[in-house]
Amino acid sequence: MSNAVEALPNAASAPGGAGTAVAADVSLAASRVRCAQITRSQARNFYYGLKLLPEPKRSDMFALYAYMRLADDIADADDGRSLRQRLDDLDAWQERTRDVLAGRISDVDPTTDPGRDIWPAFADMAARHAVPVELFDEAVAGQRQDLEPVAFETFDDLRTYCRRVAGIVGVASIYVWGFEGGAETEALAVDRGIAFQLTNVLRDLREDARNGRCYLPREELAAHGVTEEELRAGPASPRFQEMMRFQIARAEEYYQRSRELESRIARDSRATLSAITAIYRGLLTKIADQPDRVLRERVSLSLMAKLRIGWKACRAAR
């Protein structure tokens, strides 16, 4: 593998503008390999969909995912850092991101830069597709919000959070895929990302509650007579089942609101979006079939189910 990587062009000579001249000792090809490794090991529900993309879009999406994954690790990794250190590290990550995208690159100690191996691929992706810089600022803002005590009073609070941590990823993704329809299509991508994140919130309900996080709006829990203690320890009451049906219906509404998104992105990327959406919607359907299951286990789709979804998406896109 190392010989093949070394034979490919490095970041400084690759297309994409000044932002690609990153970390001279890490080639663009090696950086892409690292981003693919991160995505394969961490992106449980994205990897098989992203594999359906043609190159170079596939590698570009791996780079986007790796960036988001490392930002999340800075905020959330269980490594003993204090809250102050995590916030400082996120500030440094945001500043480094801006430097990378502006081409202001200098070699740094790899022990202090968790993104060193991904920057060439990330910079090439962002420059070639003209991904707006402010999207990455918003993504970091979402990570900062996750470091605060999670207690959303209203759905507007939750929607803002979902937009930052998932809707923004959706917008960045359509820049890589190619799209038509301008701001209207970007709004559809935000809604699809919110749908994904709402699905995640329901799937991870028990785990988050046990970690002191409750993403569901407090006013909605109170309206259904559900306590945070019930989310942590169960058992599921009829009130919980009713509350979950309400949450599931709203997540489904966001899938419906964004249903035109597939037709507005480049044809060669539609299979990927369809597959990822089918995986997340499949999770939501599984939760809807037995809502109290989320208090007993982490709901997931099998590998074979994901492969079948990918196969169907490919056939539908032909």
Does any domain span residue 140? no
CATH code of residue 236 = 1.10.600.10
Q: pTM of the predicted model, to two decimals?
A: 0.86
For residue 116, give its domain range. Answer: 1-131
The CB-side HSE value for 27 (13 A sphere, CA atoms) comes to 12
Does any domain span residue 230? yes
Quick one: pLDDT at residue 258?
98
Mean pLDDT calculated for residue range 205-221: 92
Does any domain span residue 143? no
Top mean pLDDT of 14-28, 60-74, 81-95 is at: 60-74
pLDDT score of 242 more than 50 = yes
Do 25 and 59 belong together in one domain?
A: yes
Does any domain span residue 141? no
Mean pLDDT calculated for residue range 218-242: 92
Do 99 and 72 belong together in one domain?
A: yes
Do 65 and 21 belong together in one domain?
A: yes
pLDDT score of 24 more than 50 = no
pLDDT digits (tens, 9 = 90+) for 156-205: 999 999 999 999 999 999 999 999 999 999 999 999 999 999 999 999 99
- Of 307, 272, 310, which Cα lies nearest the Cα of 170? 272
In angstroms, the CA 169 to CA 139 distance is 8
Does any domain span residue 10? yes
Quick one: pLDDT at residue 20?
39
Residue 54 is classified by DSSP as P
The CB-side HSE value for 50 (13 A sphere, CA atoms) comes to 26
Extended strands (E) in the chain = none
pLDDT score of 150 more than 80 = no
Count of residues for the chain? 318
What is the helix (H) or strand (E) element at residue 2, kind and residue range?
Answer: helix 2-7
Do 100 and 242 belong together in one domain?
A: no
pLDDT score of 6 more than 50 = no
Count of domains in the chain? Answer: 2
